[in-house]
Structure 1
Amino acid sequence: MSLVLPSELVVERFLPAVRGMLARRLADRGLTQQEIAAHLGVTQAAVSKYVSGDPEGDDRFREDPETVATVDRIADGLASGELDGYDALAELVALVRQLEDRGPVCELHEEEMPELRGLGCDLCVRGLDPDVRAERDVLASVRTAARSLASIPGMADYVPNVGTNVGTCLPDPRDETDVAAIPGRIYAIGGRIEIPANPEFGASKHVATAILAATDADPAVRGATNVETDDAILDAARSYGIEPLEFDADYDDRGAHLRSRFDDRGDVPRVAYHRGAFGIEPATYVYGETALDAVETLGDLLEEASR
């Protein structure tokens, strides 16, 4: 993993773009290149290059509305004398902080370090506090689980028509926004598994409902994946000493129904399933401590089912 600091991107991609924008705007307002150089803290030759040469830096900043508005405001202030260098610097520092929080700097940082995707740049904005570390671990679990799911032999044959998903919740989750899953679900296309996006919190209501019901009954169970219900999978579970739990598909509040079934049973089984209902495909949920744990169990069940 390459380590790239957001400050590096600010220096290499943001500052050249903003200096070029400011140089051109100050020139449009009648300032000489020598005056512009004094304001920007660069040489007159650099100003000449900014004004007449090809734009430097990243186009995303030149096209970003907040950057454009800030540069125009600074140019007006410097040209009129209403702003000095301190004021201009304060404006730019505030802009950088804004752009690091889910703005172009955040976007560039995620491109340079794909491991950050899905964190919303909380690493930069909030730092590595315990909550952020927990979120990072959950997202990593789901990302790895999705890749592992795609590598299970024959997995495409067990993906429901509506798609499947993998999910893990944070410790002590409150609602579905504390459950990370794959946005848009995972689909089987042409015999292969298609993962449309990186995991996000609040991305799946269905798998979140199943996970929240399970972790409410047993806090150690925080992950799940779903496949279509198949008797071969249920038989495979029994061969592993897992007695699958059947529940009804057509309850309006499936979460409450699952909690009731878990309470009746006295634990959360590794496998829970329903046979479907009008407009509802049969589905089987495989549980685990994390999404990856659930997917590994599913892999074992599918291998057993194929024998």
Structure 2
Amino acid sequence: MSLVLPSELVVDRFLPTVRAMLATRLAERGLTQREIAAELGVTQAAVSKYVGGESGGDDRFRDDPETVATVERIADGLDGGEMDGYDALAELLSLVRSLEDRGPICELHEEEMPELQGLGCDLCVRGLDPDVRAERDVLANVRTAARTLASIPGMADYVPNVGTNVGMCLPQPRDETDVAAIPGRIYAMGGRIEIPANPEFGASKHVATAVLAATAVEPEVRSAINIATDDDLLEAARTIGIDPLEFDADYEDRGEHLRARFDERGAVPRVAYHRGAFGIEPATYVFGVTAVEAADLVEALLETAAT
């Protein structure tokens, strides 16, 4: 693992780019290279390189509207005397905090540390606290589960026309924004499973409804995966000791209906299904304590159905 601090990226990539942008803007306003060097706290030789376009830098910052606006504001302030070094520093520190919050600095950080990708990392903004760790763990679990589904032989045959999704909620979820899933759903194409994006919270109302219904009855059951209803898979569930629960597809409040059916059973079944209705595709939900557990159960069902 490559351990890279966001502050390293600020020093190595952000600061040289912004200095070059400021030097150019101040030169355009008529300041001499010596005056610019004094304002920026760099040598006149450095300013010459900045103004001559020899400083390199990162286009992500040059093209970022917030960075451009901040640089223009600082350049105007320094040129007009409304700002001093303290004011300019305050503007830049505020900009850095903003760019660390899912901005270009965050993007660069994920490139330097691929382990952060898809985790919704916001350590720079919120720090390491229990809530952040819980969110990170859920996102990582959903991502692993999605990859597991993609690796299951024959899985593409059990992806509904509306797509498959895998969802997992935080402990004690309040609503669907506390359920992580794959944006745009998982779909089959040419016999392969395609995962269009990394998981996000609030990405799927459909699977979130099933997850929230399950965890309301059994708090430890925090994940669900939807697949196509298939008699061979239902029989496979019975073979491995699971009694699938059938529920009605045509209802007004799916969440309430599922909770009522789970209450009648006295527990959340690991497999629940419906046969569809007018305009509603038949669907089966596979539940688990975690997303990975639910994905492993899907794999076991497919393997059992194939034997």
Give the TM-score band, short-chain normalised.
over 0.9
Residue 44 of structure 2 corresponds to which residue in structure 1?
A: 44
Q: Which residue of 2 aligns with 1:32?
A: 32
User: Letter of the aligned partner of 1:5 in structure 2?
Assistant: L
Q: Within 5 A, what are the aligned runs for 1:285-296?
A: 285-296=285-296
The AA in structure 1 aligned to 2:253 is D
Q: Secondary structure at the match of 2:287?
A: strand
Report if aligned partners of 1:149, 1:155 keep a CA contact under 8 Å in 2: yes
1:185-204 alignment, distance < 5 Å: 185-204=185-204
Task: Note if contact 1:100-1:121 (Cα within 8 Å) is conserved in structure 2.
Answer: no
Counterpart of 1:101? Answer: 101
| Paired letter, 2:122 | D
Where does structure 2 lack aligned partners over 5 or more consecutive residues?
Answer: none
Q: How does 1:52-91 map to 2 (within 5 A)?
A: 52-54=52-54, 56-91=56-91
Give the equivalent residue in structure 2 for 1:172.
172
Letter in 1 for 2:174: R
User: What's the CA shift for 1:57?
Assistant: 1.5
* CA deviation vs aligned residue, 1:10-47 (integer Å, no higher than 9, x gap): 11111111000110111111111111111111111110
Q: Which residue of 2 aligns with 1:22?
A: 22
1:226 counterpart = 2:239: no
Offset at residue 80 of structure 1 (A): 2.2
Equivalents in 1 of 2:37, 2:253: separation in Å?
66
Partner of 1:136: 136
- 1:118 CA displacement: 4.1
Alpha-carbon distance, 1:55 to partner: 5.1
C-alpha separation between the residues in 1 aligned to 2:42 and 2:252?
A: 66
Task: State the distance in 2 between where 1:155 and 1:118 align.
Answer: 23
2:229 is matched by which residue type in structure 1?
T
Work out the percentage of aligned pairs sharing the same amino acid. 81
Q: Does 1:236 align with 2:236?
A: yes
Q: Tell me which amino acid in the other structure corresponds to 2:278.
A: F
Give the gaps of 5 or more residues in structure 1: none
Q: 2:209 aligned with 1:214, yes or no?
A: no
- The structural deviation recorded for 1:258 is 0.3
Q: State the 1:79 CA deviation.
A: 1.6
SS at 2:2's partner residue?
A: coil
State the partner residue of 1:163: 163
1:72 is displaced (CA, Å) by 1.3
More deviation in 82-91 or 52-61? 52-61
| Alignment partners' CA distance in 1, 2:38 and 2:133 | 44
Is 2:151 the partner of 1:151? yes
- Deviation string 1:167-194 (CA, Å, 9 cap, x unpaired) is 1100000111100000000011111100
Helix, strand or coil at the partner of 2:62: helix
Distance 1:94 1:68 in 2: 14
Task: Please name the residue that 2:272 is paired with.
Answer: 272
| Distance in 2 between residues matched to 1:53 and 1:107, nearest whole Å | 24
Using the TM superposition, name which of 275-284 and 95-104 deviates more: 95-104
* Contact 1:27-1:36 within 8 A present in 2 as well: yes
The amino acid of 2:222's aligned partner reads R
The alignment of Structure 1 onto Structure 2 pairs a total of residues equal to: 307
CA distance in 2, matches of 1:120, 1:186: 19
Which whole-Å CA distance do the structure 1 matches of 2:30 and 2:169 have between them?
58
